[in-house]
Amino acid sequence: MRSILKNNKKRGQGGEVIGFLMLGILVVFLLYIIAVPMAHVWDETSAELKNESAFGSDNKTVRQIEKFDGFVTPLMDQIVFIAFIGIVIVLFVVATFTEIHPIFLAFLGIGVIVMVIISSQLVDVADQAVNNAELDGKSDEFVFSSTIMGTAFPLIILVVGAFTIVILLSKSRGGGV
């Protein structure tokens, strides 16, 4: 009995890969939806802090605030971009170490198609959320994030999902029983 359990490899854990892909899509979406308004809020707060009524005529404080102004928006943009790249890398690592029976690869393909559909809907929601009149075009300053969360996001998810399936397929064929 012990030898049977010892030789039994865990298979059929492909749901972890699709779940992780969905988690990645949601994390990038939420970070983008939060980052753009937060950068806009900082711009408004910064403008109020630079008024003479806030700190008087202290030019040193105003210079520090102005120095930080050029740092906030690129930082938020890079956080979203680096989170996306990190999630993709971790997804590939998870796919590399996950063994799956080849029959479940068809279900993973269907799951990737569903993720592409979900991501296309999230792109529409994100576009409407960050391109409203109150944010004054702040999303245009998010170069990397706008590229990822633009119309190419479903295509990026499709390519990442396809690479993940290829990784899983290569592992399932060479792994034996």
Locate tokens 């890079």: which residue? 78
pLDDT of residue 8: 47
pLDDT of residue 1: 44
Which tokens belong to 48? 């109020």
pLDDT of residue 5: 43
Question: String of b and e for 76-99 (b: at least 16 CB within 10 Å)?
Answer: bbebbbebbeebbeebeebbeebe
pLDDT tens-digit readout, 77-131: 999 999 999 999 998 988 888 888 778 888 888 999 999 999 999 999 988 888 8
Q: HSE (CB half, 13 Å, CA atoms) of 148? A: 24
pLDDT of residue 81: 92
The CA distance from 10 to 100, in Å, is 8
Asked if pLDDT for residue 177 goes beyond 50, the answer is no
pLDDT tens-digit readout, 120-176: 999 999 888 888 888 777 888 888 888 888 889 999 999 999 999 898 888 766 544
pLDDT of residue 11: 52
User: Domain boundaries in the chain?
Assistant: 14-169
Q: If you average pLDDT over every residue of the chain, what do you get? A: 82
pLDDT of residue 124: 92
pLDDT tens-digit readout, 3-40: 444 444 555 566 678 888 888 899 999 999 998 889 88
pLDDT of residue 69: 82
